[in-house]
Amino acid sequence: MERVGVRELKTHLSRHLERVRRGAHLAVTLRGRVVATIAPVRPGPDDSWARRLVAEGRAQWDGGKPSGCARPLPVARGRTVAAAVLEDRR
C-alpha cells in the first residue's frame, strides 16, 4: 500500500482517485502517521445483475451516470409513475 500525504492528496485528488479506480490502495498520512486508507469499491451483490447484463453484451455502461432510455417505452394505459410522483409532492 502506497503512502500519500494529506497535502499531496488534496493538491492532486483527481490523479490519486484515478489510480484508486484502477485498483491502487493508498494510505493517507498526516504528519507521517497513517490516518486513513483509500481503496477501490468492491462490487456488491446488489449490482451483480447489472454487471452480468454488461458481461453478456445485453447492456452497456462506461462507468458514468446513466443517460436514460433512447427509446422510451409506451405507457399502456392509466396514470404514469411521473404523474403519481408529482401528485404526491403536492
> Is the whole model's pTM more than 0.85, yes or no?
no
Is residue 90 situated within a structural domain? no
The residues, any chain, with a CB within 8 Å of residue 4's CB and separated by 6 or more, are 16, 26, 27, 28, 29
Is residue 85 situated within a structural domain? no
HSE-CB of 73 using CA atoms within 13 angstroms? 5
Domain extent, residue 12, equals: 2-55
Is residue 44 situated within a structural domain? yes
Is residue 65 situated within a structural domain? no
Assess contact for 23 and 47: CB atoms under 8 A. no
Is residue 30 situated within a structural domain? yes
Tally of domains in the chain: 1
Average per-residue pLDDT for the chain: 87
* Domain at 47, CATH number: 3.40.1620.10
User: Higher-confidence residue: 35 or 81?
Assistant: 35
Residue 43's pLDDT is 67
Asked if pLDDT for residue 83 goes beyond 90, the answer is no
Give the model confidence (pLDDT) of 23-58 as tens digits.
Answer: 999 999 999 999 999 999 876 667 788 888 888 988
